[in-house]
Amino acid sequence: MKRREFVISSALGAIALKAGHLALPGVNPLAAMTPESAAPAVTRKILIAGGGFNTAFIKYMAQLTGKTRPKILYLPTASADRPGNFMKNCEGLDVEPSIQNSFISSYRQDKSWEEVLLSVDAIVASGGNTLNQQVIWKAHGIDVILKKAWDQGIVLGGASAGSLCWFEEGTTDSRPKELSVVQCLGLLKGSHSPHYDREVNRRPLYLKLIGSGEMKPGYACHNDAGIYFEDNEVKRVVHSRADAKVFYVSREGDQAVEKLLQPELIS
Query: What gap in Å lies between CA 133 and CA 117, rounded to an integer?
Result: 16
Please identify which of the residues 195, 222, 239, 240 carries the catalytic annotation. Answer: 195
- 163 counts as catalytic: no
- 160 counts as catalytic: yes
Please identify which of the residues 160, 191, 193, 240 carries the catalytic annotation. Answer: 160
Around Cβ 263, how many Cβ atoms within 10 Å? 22
Residue type, 5: E
Query: 194, 203, 175, 77: which is closest to 134 by C-alpha?
Result: 77
Query: What gap in Å lies between CA 19 and CA 22, rounded to an integer?
Result: 9
Please give the positions annotated as active site. Answer: 160, 195
